[in-house]
Each structure stands twice: as structure tokens, then as C-alpha cells.
Amino acid sequence: MKGITAGITAADIVFDREHVWHPYSSMVSPPPVWPVSGAVGCRITLADGRELVDGMASWWSAIHGYGHPRLNAAAHEQIDRFSHVMFGGLTHESAIGLCRRLVSLTPGGLDRVFLCDSGSVAVEVAIKMALQYHHARGRSEKHRLVTIRNGYHGDTFAAMSVCDPVTGMHGIFKGVLSEQLFVPAPQVTFDGEFDEADIAPLAALIEQHCHELAALILEPVVQGAGGMRFYSPAYLARARDLCDRYDILLIADEIATGFGRTGRLFACEHAKVSPDILCLGKAMTGGYLSLAATLTTAGIAETICSGAAGCFMHGPTFMGNPLACRIACESIDLLLESDWKRRVAAIETRTGQGLAPCADLETVKDVRVLGGIGVVELREAPDGGVLQEMLVAEGVWVRPFGRLVYIMPAYTISDAEVDCLTAAIFNVLSS
């Protein structure tokens, strides 16, 4: 069998269309795909030579852009030593270094780290931690979760059960997934004056069902793939109080928001709260390799391990992969050594200015910006494939979904590149 070559042929594209199943795509009528020949900085080079300004940072993970020399060097250094060893019974410098960084940087009290493979798995781990914690306390009746509508937490089974059954895209699995409890999504916006009525549905449900609730899971301040909604930090603070009052764990899913995306290192910081369990992923390796982590407190970890099982019942094959951990260490150091707060604030300002004209379009319902996130919400869902082809023709990589056209670029993006992205979005939506 021939090895992989540098070029993509027409036959390769045909093979891709007939045999390669892309995320959320149909094998009956596959959507268009654009073959890539390279990626450097905040630009993607297509096989036909066209260059696109990347507004997605590879689903929000490549926060330093592509091909960063320090991340490349870290990868080479680790792979020349060893690329992987099992984490069962063994440990290594890269995993220890990463966990040391995570314990130091995350909200207070989160000092036990479980490394895993992906964001969805991090959520699975968090849910299992919550259930096993209560079981170990002799409270096995506390086995359900509560969450807010419009949330998205991943595509594995436990994660799907806490996604919004409509906007979470998993309605066809109703009756198979665990039946969790949902309350209306917060309505007070990030900068809006908080109204206690916003938290009332959650408070009422928790009071009624606290005897069976193991945890509340939510995305702090920013709901990602379930709608790109920004809500008041005060809601998160009130939720923390409710969890404390009713003996419920708070799980914060910061897979999308962690490592600076909202202008704070972690979105929980906007509300000055610390969750009982924290899920991280995406940007942790700067988009180089899949890696995630679930952090919890010493008390929860010790309770779990004092239960009947005597340990936490989970162990991925590639847990603590040295190559991914080494790159993650370098990515975190690179972030902290940079002027990332100023850069994210500049992206927020520039994106807001560039997307503002979209608000005057009849097809647009809302324009909102927070940190390194810019969103245009349409009144009706367009043909996503057609819209994306138009955006590529404008020289940008922006992947719309549903009624949302949004950007979450690398923090290293230039002002000119932000302008290119926002101008392209306006041009396409106004055409």
C-alpha cells in the first residue's frame, strides 16, 4: 500500500466523498469539503492554493494559531523521548507538569486531576464522579442531573443526556438516554441587570427534586454549541449557592470557555465561584492533539475512593498521553507568558465593531460579542452548505450552524484578519 503523499488528487476527493464520514454529515448527500494542504498562523491553505483566514481555531482549540514554533519544538522533544506509555502503574514528567499547572491555575480547591481523551469523555468522567461520590456516601438515590436548556456537553451517551434535547441535536435518542431534568435557560444577558426571577425555575426544581439530584451541570456564562448564548455571571453565583444549600455538586463544563476565551482564564471567574467538578479540553493543547481533564476536590476524590469500589471506575487507554501532555504544558506556558488578556480584549472590540453593521440586516435577530467570541444570530436557518461556500469564496473559514454564524479565532489573530472575517460575514449575509 502506498504511503501518504503531500498532494490530494481528484481521486482522493471522490474517495473522501464515498467513504469518509465527517462530523454531523450525511453519507447520502455529503456536504462539500475543502482539502487542506497547509496551515500556518491564522491561515489555512487549500489544496488549490487559496488561502483562508481561519475564524474557527479548529473548533476553538488552536488558540496560538497553527504551526507555532514552541509547540512544534515541544512535540519533537517529547516524541524523540517517547510518545506514549500506559498510565496504569506508570507516570511521567509531562503528565505531572500538566497536572501541576492545572491545579495551580484553576479555581480554588480543585486539586485532584483526572486526565482523559476528549471533552465528551471529560463530561462522562464528571458525571460518573458525581454518581460514584453520592453512592459512596450511601446516597445512591441521588442519581439524576439537572441542567439548563440550550446547553451542549458532548456526543457520548451521558453527555448527550444533559444536552438540550432540541438544540443539543440528540432528540432521536429520547427513551434511550438517562432521563435528566431541565430548566429554562437564563434570560438575563451577560451585562444585563440581574433579575432574581431568572434563577427561580432552577431553585424550584432543585427544592422539589434535591433528594434525587446528584449534580447541576452547566457551561459557565457562555453556552456554546447549543446556541452561543451569553448569560449573567450572577446566575452562576446563585446556582452555586443552591448547590451548597441542597447537597448537590456543581459541575462546570469549561471545555469551550477555559484558557481565556471569555476574557478570564476560566469563565467561572466572572462569578467568583469554584465548582465541585471542572471539565477542561479543547484549547489545552493549543489544538495539536486531543486531551482533556476533569478536576475535583480532595474531599470528593477521597469519598469516592472510600466507597465500595475503592477507586474511581474509569481508565482510558490513552490517559495521560505524554505527547499531548507535553504540548499542553507548553501551550499553557505560552498563553501565560503572552499578553493574552489584552489580545482577547482587542479581539472583542474589533469583532464588535466589525459585526455591528450586521444588526441592521433584516435577516439578523441579534449580534453579540464576548471576549474572543463573536456571534450573528439569524432569524431563520439558512442553507449552511451554500453559506459556507459563499464564505470560502470571500477568503475566510467560518462554519455556520443552525441560525448562527460565529467566529472564535486564535488569540494571535491580527486586527486585519479580524476585519477580514467580519467583513466577509457582513458581505455574505447582506448579499
What whole-number distance in Å separates Cα of residue 416 and Cα of residue 403? Answer: 26
Give yes or no: 333 in active site.
no
Give yes or no: 253 in active site.
yes
Query: Closest Cα partner for 63 from 330, 360, 393?
Result: 330
User: In whole angstroms, how far apart are CA 137 and each of 113, 130, 187, 304?
Assistant: 21, 11, 36, 8
Amino acid at 244: D
DSSP string, 147-177: EETT----SSHHHHHTS-TTTTS-GGGTTTS
DSSP string, 402-427: TTEEEE---TT--HHHHHHHHHHHHH
What whole-number distance in Å separates Cα of residue 220 and Cα of residue 148? Answer: 11
Catalytic residue among 253, 276, 406, 411: 253
Catalytic residue among 152, 231, 235, 411: 152
Do residues 58 and 289 touch, judged by C-beta distance below 8 A? no
Catalytic residue among 155, 282, 406, 411: 282
Q: Work out the number of other CB atoms within 10 angstroms of the CB of residue 394.
A: 19
Q: Which residue has the cell 519533537?
A: 76
Give yes or no: 152 in active site.
yes
Active-site residue list: 24, 152, 253, 282
